[in-house]
Chain A
Amino acid sequence: MRQVRTEWTKFRTVPGWVAATIAAALATVLVALFAGGSGSASPAPPVGPDGQPVADSFYFVRKQLTGDGSVTVPVTSLTSAAHDGPTDVPWAKAGLIIKQNTEPGSPYVAIMVTGGHGVRMQHGFTGDIAGPVPSARWLRLERSGDTVTGLASTDGTDWRPVGTATVSGPTVQGGLFVASPPQVRGMGTVGTVSAAAFGGVRADGEWDGRGWTSEQIGAESPTFAGYPDGSTGSVKGSIATEPEPEAEPGPRTGTGTGTGTGSTVVTGAGDIAVAVRETLATGGILSNILTGTFVALIILAVVGALFVTTEHRDGLILATIAAEPRRLRVLGAKAIVLVVVCLAVGLIGTFLAARLGMRLARANGVFIIPVTPAQELRVVVGTAVMLAAVAVLALAVGTIGRSGAGAVTTVVVAIVLPYLLVANPFTPAVVADWLARTTPAAAFAIQQTIAPQHQVDSIYTPYVGYFPLSPWAGLLVLVGWTLVALAVAAVVSHRRDT
Chain B
Amino acid sequence: MSSSGIVVDGLRKRYGRVLALDGMSFAVRPGVVTGFVGPNGAGKSTTMRVILGLDTAEAGSALVGGRPYRSLRDPLTHLGSMLDASALHPGRTARNHLLWIAHSQGLGARRADEVLDLAGLAPAARRKAGGFSLGMRQRLGIAAALLGDPPILMLDEPFNGMDPDGIIWMRGLLRSLSAEGRAVLVSSHLMGEVQEIADRLVVAGRGRVLADATVSELIAGAPTGRLEDVYLRLTRAAVEFS
Residue pair B55, A497 in contact (C-beta under 8 Å):
yes
- The stretch that binds A, out of B75-83, B162-170, B197-205, B212-220, is B75-83
Among B33-85, those with CB < 8 Å from A are 49, 52-56, 69-70, 72, 75-76, 81, 83-84
11 contacts between A and B (CB under 8 A): A2-B106, A13-B92, A13-B97, A310-B89, A314-B86, A314-B88, A315-B87, A321-B52, A322-B83, A325-B69, A497-B55
Residue pair A5, B54 in contact (C-beta under 8 Å):
no
Complex Cα distance A323/B99, Å?
A: 12
A318 at the interface (CB under 8 A from B): yes
Closest to B46 in A: A497
Task: Report B83-126 CB contacts with A as 1/0, cut-off 8 Å.
Answer: 11011111111001101110111100000000000000000000
B8 at the interface (CB under 8 A from A): no
A324 at the interface (CB under 8 A from B): yes
Contact of A322 among B55, B76, B89 (CB under 8 A): B76
Q: For residue A147, give the distance in angstroms from its CB to the closest CB of chain B.
A: 69
Contact of A323 among B75, B88, B89, B93 (CB under 8 A): B75
Residue pair A314, B89 in contact (C-beta under 8 Å):
yes
Given contacts A322-B54, A325-B53, A498-B49, contact A316 B104 (CB under 8 A): no
Residue pair B96, A9 in contact (C-beta under 8 Å):
yes
A319 at the interface (CB under 8 A from B): yes
CB neighbours (8 Å) of B83 from chain A are 318, 322
B144 at the interface (CB under 8 A from A): yes
Residue pair B103, A5 in contact (C-beta under 8 Å):
yes
Binding site for B on A (CB under 8 A): 2-3, 5-7, 9-10, 13-16, 310-311, 314-316, 318-319, 321-326, 497-498
Closest to B70 in A: A325
Instruction: Name the residue among B56, B97, B103 with the largest chain A CB count within 10 angstroms.
Output: B103
Taking A316-B88, A321-B52 as known contacts, 16 extra A-B pairs with beta carbons closer than 8 A to each other, sorted by chain A number, are: A7-B100, A10-B100, A14-B89, A314-B87, A314-B90, A316-B87, A318-B49, A318-B83, A319-B101, A322-B52, A322-B81, A322-B83, A323-B104, A497-B54, A498-B54, A498-B55
Contact of B103 among A6, A16, A319, A326 (CB under 8 A): A6
Residue pair B92, A14 in contact (C-beta under 8 Å):
yes
Residue pair B84, A315 in contact (C-beta under 8 Å):
yes
Closest to B128 in A: A15
Contact of B105 among A15, A311, A318, A323 (CB under 8 A): A323
CB neighbours (8 Å) of A15 from chain B are 91
CB neighbours (8 Å) of A326 from chain B are 70
Residue pair B87, A318 in contact (C-beta under 8 Å):
yes
Count of B interface residues, CB-CB < 8 Å: 32
Given contacts A9-B96, A316-B88, contact A321 B54 (CB under 8 A): yes
Closest to B71 in A: A325
Complex Cα distance A325/B86, Å?
A: 20
Residue pair B93, A321 in contact (C-beta under 8 Å):
no
CB neighbours (8 Å) of B87 from chain A are 314-316, 318-319
Q: Which 5 A-B pairs have the closest CB atoms?
A: A315-B87, A13-B96, A323-B104, A498-B54, A497-B55
Contact of B76 among A7, A310, A323 (CB under 8 A): A323
Q: For residue A2, give the distance in angstroms from its CB to the closest CB of chain B.
A: 6
Q: For residue B101, give the distance in angstroms from its CB to the closest CB of chain A.
A: 6
Instruction: Name the residue among B72, B81, B87, B96 with the largest chain A CB count within 10 angstroms.
Output: B87
CB neighbours (8 Å) of A314 from chain B are 86-90
Complex Cα distance A316/B86, Å?
A: 8
Complex Cα distance A9/B106, Å?
A: 13
Closest to B55 in A: A497
Closest to A17 in B: B91
Complex Cα distance A6/B97, Å?
A: 11
Residue pair B54, A318 in contact (C-beta under 8 Å):
yes
Given contacts A315-B84, A325-B70, contact A13 B54 (CB under 8 A): no
Complex Cα distance A10/B99, Å?
A: 9
Closest to B92 in A: A13
Residue pair B56, A497 in contact (C-beta under 8 Å):
yes
CB neighbours (8 Å) of A2 from chain B are 103-104, 106
Task: Report B16-34 CB contacts with A as 1/0, cut-off 8 Å.
Answer: 0000000000000000000
Q: For residue A15, give the distance in angstroms from its CB to the closest CB of chain B.
A: 6
CB neighbours (8 Å) of A7 from chain B are 100
Residue pair A321, B53 in contact (C-beta under 8 Å):
yes
Residue pair A3, B88 in contact (C-beta under 8 Å):
no
Instruction: Name the residue among A13, A318, A319, A326 with the largest chain B CB count within 10 angstroms.
Output: A319
Given contacts A314-B90, A316-B87, A322-B75, contact A13 B99 (CB under 8 A): yes
Q: For residue A163, give the distance in angstroms from its CB to the closest CB of chain B.
A: 66
CB neighbours (8 Å) of B90 from chain A are 314
CB neighbours (8 Å) of A5 from chain B are 103
CB neighbours (8 Å) of B86 from chain A are 314-315
Residue pair A318, B84 in contact (C-beta under 8 Å):
yes
Closest to A306 in B: B89
Instruction: Name the residue among A2, A9, A15 with the largest chain B CB count within 10 angstroms.
Output: A9
Complex Cα distance A325/B72, Å?
A: 8
CB neighbours (8 Å) of B69 from chain A are 325
Q: For residue A254, give the distance in angstroms from its CB to the closest CB of chain B.
A: 85
Instruction: Name the residue among B72, B75, B89, B93 with the largest chain A CB count within 10 angstroms.
Output: B89
Closest to A495 in B: B56
Q: For residue A22, give the distance in angstroms from its CB to the closest CB of chain B.
A: 15
Q: For residue A485, give the distance in angstroms from its CB to the closest CB of chain B.
A: 24
CB neighbours (8 Å) of A321 from chain B are 52-54
Closest to A325 in B: B70
